[in-house]
Structure 1
Amino acid sequence: MVADGEVMGFIPTVDSAKARRFYEDVLGLRFVSDDPFALVVASQGTEIRIAKLHEFTPAPYTILGWRVKDIEQEVRTLSAKGVVFKRYPPLEQSDAGIWTSPSGARIAWFADPDGNVLSISQHVDGVASA
């Protein structure tokens, strides 16, 4: 059954060298492999295949995100590494770029070197994801 399988994420890139530096050095993901088709990294046991393409248009929405325990600290850490957090008017975001959803979840968005939108979020215990 599919429900018993391991989940794997997919992200496109046109520059796998830049992508590898970003996902390993900036985000701290573990390198798994690199072949002519994809760079593979892992996050808490979930593999992410960064597919090598000649061209693509990044989606305007979040394609992958991470739940974190302390979003303020994560934003500070990533900002210190050069990550710029996205602004989405008319959402009311903090000076750091964090939006608080109606459920209480706090979310911040950023892009990888290819323009793929990623997010980090901190969720309120017992409340469904935003």
Structure 2
Amino acid sequence: MKNNRQPVSFIVTDDPDAAQAFFVDVMALELREASPFALVFVDCGHVLRVQIVSELEPADYTVHGWEVVDIARTIEELISKGVQFQRFDQLPQDALGVWTTPDGNKIAWFTDPSGNRLSLTQYMTT
């Protein structure tokens, strides 16, 4: 069987107004739908569904991420929009908060207004 399915990613928010502003204004996603149940965004053809919940305990791991071509430039753009990048004591990170994996990939983490951990990754092959 040929795979003709398109992936949909899910994260959650307890503050839909802040989530909508973040994903539209900061992350430049297109809002496809807003309902009392979810915000649905389109991100380069990929669907990101942000489910609206009354209470949220953010996960302590990465829940969604983006592959980027130039991580330093992307970080600088996001910082200019108010995004703060996370630092982890167990990882050696550069001045921008980028950790370089043993195989040379570069990763940085930040959170959305609901505390969901998000990431940027620049692969060596990019």
What's the TM-score once normalised by structure 2's chain length? 0.96
1:4 deviation in Å?
A: 2.6
Q: Which runs of 5+ in 1 are unaligned?
A: none
Find the counterpart in structure 1 of residue 63 from structure 2.
Answer: 63
CA distance in 2, matches of 1:84, 1:123: 22
Find the counterpart in structure 2 of residue 15 from structure 1.
Answer: 15
SS of the equivalent of 2:78 reads helix
CA distance in 2, matches of 1:42, 1:115: 21
Find the counterpart in structure 2 of residue 82 from structure 1.
Answer: 82
Find the counterpart in structure 2 of residue 112 from structure 1.
Answer: 112
Question: Is 1:34 aligned to 2:19, yes or no?
Answer: no
Change (3 A) 1:91 1:2: farther
SS of the equivalent of 1:73 reads helix
Q: Which runs of 4+ in 1 moved over 4 A?
A: none
Number of residue equivalences: 126
CA distance in 1, matches of 2:55, 2:3: 32
Letter in 2 for 1:72: A
CA distance in 2, matches of 1:47, 1:84: 24
SS of the equivalent of 1:4 reads coil
Change (3 A) 1:15 1:2: farther
Deviations 1:64-101 (A, max 9, x none): 00000000000000001000000011211011100000
Among all aligned residue pairs of Structure 1 and Structure 2, give the percentage whose two residues are the same amino acid: 40
1:3 deviation in Å?
A: 4.0
Deviations 1:80-126 (A, max 9, x none): 10000000112110111000001110000000000000000100118
1:36 deviation in Å?
A: 1.4
CA distance in 2, matches of 1:9, 1:92: 29
Deviations 1:29-86 (A, max 9, x none): 1110101110011111011110000002110000000000000000000001000000
RMSD: 1.4
CA distance in 2, matches of 1:26, 1:8: 20
